Chains A and B, each alone.
Chain A
């Protein structure tokens, strides 16, 4: 089955700096890669996703890049703000059909210091 590795496990940045979180996946058939943000005591919320037919996707201060050959994808947050502090999870799956099930990385605790 799929295995997703996520690094780093913790990340501390100063407000205004950029943050990068990296994930690798094992199953070359996976084609859908979402990122979730989970604030303390809250449910995971989807913040951005990417499919294997594109290499990069951007939404305001958040971007995700995908390298299918190397089987890794990354989350980039620019101009970080204290409200970006949370745990971020990457995930991977083969989309559509009966094989759909998300495999999550272990998470990255991002702390943005004012």
Chain B
């Protein structure tokens, strides 16, 4: 498995502000992803965090709103910019440890409330 931590675990923010969420893994992993899970809903992939290059965003998500960094193989950040109440969600990072393996492990999530 993989030990994944996220900071903060939860936050309450004012609209118009930005929040950066950190994801730390206990060892190097090949793939890192960011998901959004709105209340009572399924998991929606925001983007694949690529080490040393720009993230790959899914349809409906843009870099200006959700800038992502991945400076190394164990760490990534997701920023939720210019927040509105519609951004209230749980944000989860996930990892795939090695090329050729498929198991995806999830972090504990960050519960964001925007007022």
- Which residues of A approach B to under 8 Å, CB–CB? 1, 32, 34, 36, 42-46, 49, 51, 89, 93, 95-96, 100-107
Contact = CB atoms under 8 A, between A and B. Distances in A.
Given A93-B102, A100-B31, A102-B43, 6 more contacts: A42-B108, A44-B92, A44-B106, A102-B104, A104-B44, A107-B42
A46 B2 CA distance: 12
Contacts of A42: 108
Contact of B103 (A1, A34, A104, A107): A34
A45 B100 CA distance: 20
B108 A43 contact: yes
Interface in B1-44: 31, 33, 41-44
A32 B42 contact: no
B73 interface: no
A96 B100 contact: yes
B97 to A, nearest CB: 12
B42 A106 contact: yes
Interface string B77-102: 00000000000000010001001101
Contacts of B107: 43
A91 to B, nearest CB: 8
Nearest to A4: B42
A89 B43 contact: yes
Contacts of B105: 46
B42 A104 contact: yes
A23 to B, nearest CB: 12
A111 to B, nearest CB: 15
B103 A49 contact: yes
Contact of A101 (B45, B99, B103, B106): B45
